[in-house]
Amino acid sequence: MEAPAVAPAPEALPKVRTDLLPLLLVPLLALAAAPLVGSFPTWVTLTVAGIAMGLIIFIIASGLTLVFGLMDVLNFGHGVFIALGAFLATTVLGGMADWTASQSLAANLAAIFAAMAVAMAVAGAVGMAFERVIIRPVYGQHLKQILITMGGMIVGEELIKVIWGPQAIPLPLPAALRGAILIGDAAVEKYRIVAVVIGLAVFAAIFWVLSRTKAGLLIRAGVQDREMVEALGYRIRRLFVGVFVAGSALAGLGGVMWGLYQQSVIPQIGAQVNILIFIVIIIGGLGSAGGSFVGALLVGLLANYAGFLAPKVALFSNILLMVLVLLWRPQGLYPVAKR
Amino acid sequence: MSGALLALEGVHTHIGAYHILHGVHLTVPRGGLTVLLGRNGAGKTTTLRTIMGLWRASHGRVLFEGADIAARATPEVARLGIAYVPENMGVFSDLTVEENMALAARGARRAAEIDRARLEWIFGLFPALRKFWLHPAGLLSGGQKQMLAVARAIVEPRKLLIVDEPTKGLAPAIVQNMVSAFRELKRTETTILLVEQNFHFARALGDTVAVMDDGRVVHAGTMAALAGDEALQQRLLGLALAAHH
């Protein structure tokens, strides 16, 4: 008989384990699509488009997932802020026609940044009112939250029709951002590169705040155990209002980017994107900003690959992705450890 | 010990339709360690949560330094200088040990701003925390999490430390570590209110004791008196105590 195995030292140092598996899904999906797409330049075009779309969705979804994580609030009205941002962009860019028509990239970007600043400010302010009037009376009552936030979404959509009209409004790209540049044989639309750069900058900013500032620590802690954050002496309500306003402003920013990505804006834009962002935050793990980042990239890439390979199943592909992810990890890719 | 730091006067607490506390009278003398004993379901945890404002007292007064704090919100109660370690420890498992400590230190914007000398003192009490400083708290063992929970409560000086069952489920060696840590805390004149089921642990540390049953305090006095009176122990704590004794 063999000697029994020696028990490990009682105070063995636990390994710092970073769960990279979900993150690996993104390159895996891209690589798996390559042979199916066949042509390398086409694959590059689709991949850049997918990443750009994914980053825009992440900007929109990040606030929503934190709002849910902090206060268990499911805000189905989030789409209003997207629509608001997109319509404000039509107004601001329309008013800056000289800047958008200019061939100068700097003038174009200045116009876009102006539109983004206005969209974020207005969406943030409307978000503050939305939280006060619509969300606050129904804390802790999920069914009422779903109904009233959906109601808020419908009212918001109708108000947008009152202000901007019910028809689609074109949102052309500024002159210097139209068209594509060739990278090797692959044509990559200029605006998508801009979207990727802005998306990565926002991602970096969100993660800097969450990991390096006290407010970020409080948000991450509050998502796990809100009661303990209060017992440590912090007013979580204020924090929540701050996150709600920031999330609304980011949705407004995402709306500008989404509108420019589609180059046209309709009042139903919020409802359309709503479905995608809910898929993203469920895939990512409700309350996890990192999870929504990975989820958004997966959704963006898959939508583009599927749209090219099998347009008929493109609409269904993201639902399928959600089902597969939830079969693998029922709590999402990065489940938040709730107490 | 000069007077009461905390006093509960006829506190009733309802949780939903349940009437849990039926007029609790409790005095926590300044500078001492008070142990709250009692069987499961006697209302000990509810009493602590009512003090912290996590449950609202429906009747009665909670006096801290003479002021009634029964109606105050939890963050305000904490900011009066009351630290709370809940039964489930309340450790943020996705955050590192360092981040957990930085959050508890309200005066510090980041971990580097935590008072260094105090941190060294805490590392002296709980050496494991230094070792696992940069590790996610979720990877710690149960005992290490309890150490972190207590360390978090004392990262800055507080007037009152409220701890719910710090020895629950811990190995004997770690319980001994806790006893030493609380002895050291007592030396700093921190007032402590401790809920405990382990009478051995309670007797080693307590100055005063209150025994709860059915949502009331049924006995209050010095720990020495209770420890020296087996008949009283039998009457108040029954068989549960005999097992520990």
Give Dmax over CA atoms of chain A in angstroms. 88
Distance CA A282, CA A284 (A): 5
Is residue A312 situated within a structural domain?
yes
Q: Say if CB A125 and CB A117 are below 8 A apart.
A: no
Summarize pLDDT for B123-158 with one digit per residue, the tens.
999 999 999 999 999 999 999 999 999 999 999 999
Domain span at residue A76? Answer: 40-323
Q: Which candidate from B90, B99, B128 shows the least CB-CB separation from A231?
A: B90
Is residue A7 situated within a structural domain?
no
Q: Which candidate from A221, A227, A235 shows the least CB-CB separation from B103?
A: A221
Is residue B151 situated within a structural domain?
yes
The residue among A208, A210, A217 with the most chain B CBs within 10 A of its CB, best to mutate, is A217
Q: Which candidate from A227, A230, A337 shows the least CB-CB separation from B93?
A: A337
Asked if B131 lies within 8 A of A16 by C-beta distance, the reply is: no
Q: What ipTM was estimated for this complex?
A: 0.92
Distance from CA of B221 to the nearest CA of A (A): 29
Distance from CA of A55 to the nearest CA of B (A): 24
Domain count, chain B: 1
Is residue A14 situated within a structural domain?
no
Pick the more confident residue, B111 or B216.
Answer: B216
Looking at residue B116, what is its pLDDT? 93
Is residue B142 situated within a structural domain?
yes
Domain span at residue B139? Answer: 92-155
Structure confidence at residue A12 as a pLDDT band (50, 70, 90): low
B244 pLDDT higher than 50: no
Asked if A230 lies within 8 A of B75 by C-beta distance, the reply is: yes
Q: How far is CA A171 from the centre of its chain?
A: 21
**What residues of B are in contact with residue A336 (Cβ under 8 Å)?**
94
Is residue A292 situated within a structural domain?
yes
Asked if B78 lies within 8 A of A230 by C-beta distance, the reply is: yes
Is residue A270 situated within a structural domain?
yes
Interface check for B133 against chain A (CB to CB < 8 A): the answer is no
Looking at residue B132, what is its pLDDT? 93
- Nearest Cα to A18, choosing from A338, A339, A337, A334? A334
**CATH code for the domain of A295:** 1.10.3470
Is residue B126 situated within a structural domain?
yes
Structure confidence at residue A106 as a pLDDT band (50, 70, 90): very high
Distance from CA of B31 to the nearest CA of A (A): 22
Is residue B121 situated within a structural domain?
yes
Distance CA B88, CA B90 (A): 6
Is residue A55 situated within a structural domain?
yes
Q: Chain A residue closest to B98 (CA)?
A: A217
Distance CA B195, CA B201 (A): 11
Interface check for B75 against chain A (CB to CB < 8 A): the answer is yes
List CB contacts of A36: < 8 A, sequence separation 6 or more: A305, A309
Is residue B132 situated within a structural domain?
yes
> What does the pLDDT average to over A93-97?
93
Q: Chain B residue closest to A223 (CA)?
A: B92
**What residues of B are in contact with residue A231 (Cβ under 8 Å)?**
52, 54, 74, 78, 84, 86, 90
Asked if B86 lies within 8 A of A231 by C-beta distance, the reply is: yes
- Nearest Cα to A224, choosing from A287, A274, A314, A277? A287
Is residue A332 situated within a structural domain?
no
Q: How far is CA A325 from the centre of its chain?
A: 18
Is residue A333 situated within a structural domain?
no
> What does the pLDDT average to over A52-75?
91
Summarize pLDDT for B62-78 with one digit per residue, the tens.
999 999 999 999 999 99
Q: What end-to-end distance do the CA atoms of chain B give, in Å?
A: 29
Show which residues on chain A lie within 8 Å of chain B, measured between beta carbons.
11, 13-17, 212, 214, 217-218, 220-221, 224-225, 227-236, 336-337, 339
B240 pLDDT higher than 60: no
- Tell me if residue A15 falls in helix, strand or coil: coil
pTM score over 0.80: yes
Q: Which candidate from B78, B109, B134 shows the least CB-CB separation from A231?
A: B78
Domain count, chain A: 1
For the beta carbon of residue A10, count every other beta carbon within 10 angstroms: 8
Q: Say if CB B6 and CB B64 are below 8 A apart.
A: yes
A33 burial via Cβ count (<10 Å: 0-12, 13-18, 19+): buried
Q: Say if CB A43 and CB A308 are below 8 A apart.
A: no
Looking at residue A5, what is its pLDDT? 40
Structure confidence at residue A4 as a pLDDT band (50, 70, 90): very low
A206 pLDDT higher than 50: yes
